Amino acid sequence: MKHIFQKGTDITAPVLVLFHGTGGTERDLLPLAQAISPTSSVLSVKGNVLENGMPRFFRRLAEGIFDEEDLIFRTKELYDFLDQAAVEHGFDRNNLVAIGYSNGANIAGSLLFHYPDALRGAILHHPMVPRRGIQLPDLSGIPIFIGAGQNDPICSPQETEELQKLLSEAGSTVAVHWEQAGHQLTRSEVEAAGTWFKTNLV
Ligand code: MLT
């Protein structure tokens, strides 16, 4: 998969794996990595799917309606890519923390829904429930931050609460940060994610 790898100054710090939103690129979230853990190595990935020219991490049938078969296929493709990238770039495969926004948060959520060892933790900005009706792996010891907007028209507060419940029931410790905002990513949400990261992952 197309990606950027930047080696950090502290190779023991979690490696931040970045997943952009629909229409974004692997450059979009680099400033977030700098804000959250400036000494970390960074692997920033570009989605392999195009929707009317806009990069994404999996196909959707309509706004908010995912192509489940493609979601499962792309989640496995990404999981395998993380294994390969760890060998290629020489980072610790077991020390990855995802930062995803919107469609990127949804693919990070899907990694958590399908694999017990894909990630050591995750910061999900405005995620949805990636799949329903499946048994989640054991996620105990995997802390997750969810940033959500009270007025988000794409990820409703009810869906955020449903996601929090599913991840908590799988054993994860989930922190939800609410903004009086919509789907956009605000500076105060990023600051809250940074504070959470320092408490839970360093
Ligand atoms: C998705 O398709 O993953 C969600 O609707 C978020 C987005 O608009 O990308």
- pLDDT band at residue 23, thresholds of 50, 70 and 90? very high
pLDDT score for 113: 98
Q: Whose CA is nearest to atom 1 of ligand 1?
A: 103
pLDDT score for 103: 98
DSSP secondary structure, 172-184, as one string: -EEEEEEESS-SS
Q: Whose CA is nearest to atom 7 of ligand 1?
A: 103
Ligand 1 atom having least distance to the Cα of 128 = 4
- pLDDT of 32 higher than 90: yes
pLDDT score for 7: 98
The pTM of this model reads: 0.98
Tell me the C-alpha distance between 164 and 80, whole Å: 26
Ligand 1 pocket residue status of 154, Cβ below 6 Å: yes
Q: If you average pLDDT over every residue of the chain, what do you get?
A: 98
Ligand 1 pocket residue status of 106, Cβ below 6 Å: yes
Region 28-55 average pLDDT: 98
pLDDT score for 24: 98
CATH of the domain at 195: 3.40.50.1820
- Burial (Cβ within 10 Å: 0-12, 13-18, ≥19) of residue 4: middle
pLDDT tens column, 72-127: 999 999 999 999 999 999 999 999 999 999 999 999 999 999 999 999 999 999 99
Residue 102 is among the residues annotated as catalytic for this protein:
yes
Percent of the chain with pLDDT over 90: 100
Region 35-49 average pLDDT: 98
Ligand 1 atom having least distance to the Cα of 57 = 3
Ligand 1 atom having least distance to the Cα of 154 = 5
Residue 152 is among the residues annotated as catalytic for this protein:
yes
- pLDDT band at residue 46, thresholds of 50, 70 and 90? very high
Region 170-194 average pLDDT: 98
pLDDT score for 202: 86
Domain tally for the chain?
A: 1
Region 35-54 average pLDDT: 98
Other residues' Cβ atoms within 10 Å of the Cβ of residue 132: 9
Ligand 1 pocket residue status of 103, Cβ below 6 Å: yes
- Probe residue for ligand 1, chosen from 22, 28, 156 as the CB with the greatest number of ligand atoms within 8 Å: 22
Range of the domain at 87: 3-200
pLDDT tens column, 118-160: 999 999 999 999 999 999 999 999 999 999 999 999 999 999 9
Region 3-16 average pLDDT: 98
Distance in Å, CA 106 to ligand 1 centroid: 7
